[in-house]
Amino acid sequence: MDPWFTEQAAGFVGAAVGVIYGAGFGGIGGGVGGPLASLGKARGLVVGIFAAGFLFGLGLAATGLVALVLGQPWYVWFVFLLPGITGTLLFGMLTPIIRAQYDKAEQRKLDAAAIRSA
């Protein structure tokens, strides 16, 4: 089987995956998601970014596994498998933390309302 792309093109593919995944989901999700979660704002958007990041990571990992099983050279499967596994683990572990931040913010709002009405 012919390689999906050359070793030189693997650098470009890896850079594109890194920019889209790292800056797109990681940078926006972490940079915007952390402050918004602590304020209890834009829950759907932030949880959606984290869920999309998790699914994108699963897709990358699956693509890397398919390339590995098909006998592609290391530089083909590596550019998909490494960020896929890393991102899936990170987004998978951070999503419950973000949800807990939203739950804490909601509880603070309920506590403040109870104090005001007392």
In a domain, 96, yes or no: yes
Give the domain extent around 53. Answer: 7-109
Whether 118 maps to a domain, the answer reads no
Any domain includes 103? yes
* Two tokens, residue 38: 């602590």
Structure confidence at residue 1 as a pLDDT band (50, 70, 90)? confident
- Residue 47 belongs to some domain of the structure: yes
> Which tens digit of pLDDT belongs to each residue from 67-118?
999 999 999 999 999 999 999 999 999 999 999 999 999 999 999 999 998 7
DSSP type of residue 5: S
From CA 98, how far away is CA 100, in angstroms rounded? 5
Res 7: pLDDT: 92
- pTM across the whole model: 0.86
Please check whether residue 116 lies inside any domain of the structure: no
pLDDT at 87: 93
- Domain count along the chain: 1
For residue range 13-49, list pLDDT tens digits in order.
Answer: 999 999 989 888 888 888 888 899 989 999 999 999 9
